[in-house]
Structure 1
């Protein structure tokens, strides 16, 4: 307990760092979603072959969104159970690193899916 008789409080600096990490991850993911949706919209205009690729892109975007939301919820739950400031800092670092890795993997996978869809759309009809 602190001098005010309340339990553990996260210092302003730590809270600011956590918020900055959340905001960075949120901005990165929003850019990723916008790009994927724009690409899917563009591809959908090219016909039946492309619709299949766009459908795959849409499904992947939803899967990524679900995974990222679940990771955020798991992180928030782990913070609730943190015993002290060092544990909060450790949890935050682990979360940010895991999210950055996940976003990089998702962007790479999405790039491959979009490239394949674009190549399929560009193939001459026989």
Structure 2
């Protein structure tokens, strides 16, 4: 009777396989994009030697932050497509949201220190 109150929503293997392939294709497309972005970044740096060290560091950290954030998103997507039921999906989403808030807070603090300014607090 208790099982009737909480029906289990099973995700078919074919759907998870399809989603996993889609995520992998997106990851490959992103990797190609990141290669192009890094090449453009390198080209820009070589053309603007007069740009100060802070600007170069800001550029490198921005690319690193973007790469880390996208990698975390792909890892989240991989976990999500492998979820067996709705409860597991909610747990994965909660873990991801918490992790992203912590990461964003850390990145904001690092950027504040990098720029020589402290983040504003209220």
Residue 7 (structure 2) pairs with residue 8 (structure 1): no
Indicate if the aligned counterparts of 2:11 and 2:83 stay in contact, CA closer than 8 A: no
> 1:83: which partner in 2?
84
Q: Which structure 1 residue ranges, 4+ long, deviate > 2 Å from structure 2?
A: none
CA offsets, 1:17-52, max 9 Å, x none?
xxxxxxxxxxxxxxxxxxxxxxxxxxxxxxx5x611
Q: Distance in 1 between matches of 2:11 and 2:114?
A: 46
Q: Distance in 2 between matches of 1:74 and 1:110?
A: 24
- Measured on the aligned residues, the alpha-carbon RMSD in Å equals 2.3
> 2:114: which partner in 1?
113
CA offsets, 1:43-89, max 9 Å, x none?
xxxxx5x6111111111111010000000000001011001111000
CA offsets, 1:89-110, max 9 Å, x none?
0000000000010000000001
Q: Distance in 2 between matches of 1:114 and 1:58?
A: 12
> 2:40: which partner in 1?
none
Aligned residues: 73
Indicate if the aligned counterparts of 2:80 and 2:92 stay in contact, CA closer than 8 A: yes
How far 1:8 sits from its partner (Å)?
2.8
Q: What is the TM-score with the length of structure 2 in the denominator?
A: 0.55
Q: Distance in 1 between matches of 2:93 and 2:79?
A: 10
